[in-house]
Amino acid sequence: NAGVTQTPKFRVLKTGQSMTLLCAQDMNHEYMYWYRQDPGMGLRLIHYSVGEGTTAKGEVPDGYNVSRLKKQNFLLGLESAAPSQTSVYFCASSYSRYRNSNQPQHFGDGTRLSIL
C-alpha cells in the first residue's frame, strides 16, 4: 500500500520556469492538501481540495495553482517560479469529515524544490 506518493522528490528550477508537482493517493481519500515547509515556520497550507473538481485557497496560495481532475491526484503548479518558492512541499490526504471525523491527514514524503 503506497499511501501518498509525491513526484518528483527533488527538483532545481531557474527563476521563471514552470513545473508541476504531482501527488497521488491510493486510500480513496476525499480531501487532499498541499503544504510548504520553510525553516522556522512549520507547515503552511497552500491549497486544498474537498473533492474531485473542487479546490480552495489556503494560507499562502499566491504564485501557485492546483487541479483535482481525478479523486486520487492533486497537482500543484508553479507558473513562473521565484526564489521565494524554494521550499519543501508536502502533500497530504484524509477522509471526508462526513465519513469519519477522526481520521488524521496522511502525508507524502515531500518534494524539495530549489529555485535559482
Partner 1 sequence: AQKVTQAQTEISVVEKEDVTLDCVYETRDTTYYLFWYKQPPSGELVFLIRRNSFDEQNEISGRYSWNFQKSTSSFNFTITASQVVDSAVYFCALSEVRDSSYKLIFGSGTRLLVRP
With binding defined as CB under 8 A, does residue 2 bind partner 1?
no
* Burial environment of residue 21 by CB neighbours within 10 A (0 to 12, 13 to 18, 19 or more): buried
In the list 1, 2, 62, 104, the residue contacting partner 1 (rule: CB under 8 A) is 104
Binding status of residue 88 toward partner 1 by CB under 8 A: yes
Contact pick of 44, 61, 67, 71 for partner 1 (by CB under 8 A): 44
C-alpha grid cell for residue 52? 474531485
Core vs surface per residue 83-104: b (16+ CB within 10 A) or e: eebbbebbbbbbbeeeeeeeee
By CB under 8 A, name the one of 10, 14, 69, 101 that touches partner 1. Answer: 101
Here the cell at position 24 is 497521488
Stretch that binds partner 1, among 13-21, 34-42, 70-78, 79-87 (CB under 8 A): 34-42
Q: Which helix (H) or strand (E) holds 77?
A: strand 73-78
- Tell me which residues touch partner 1 (CB under 8 A): 31, 33, 35, 40-45, 48, 50, 56, 58, 88, 90, 92, 94, 97, 101-107, 109-110
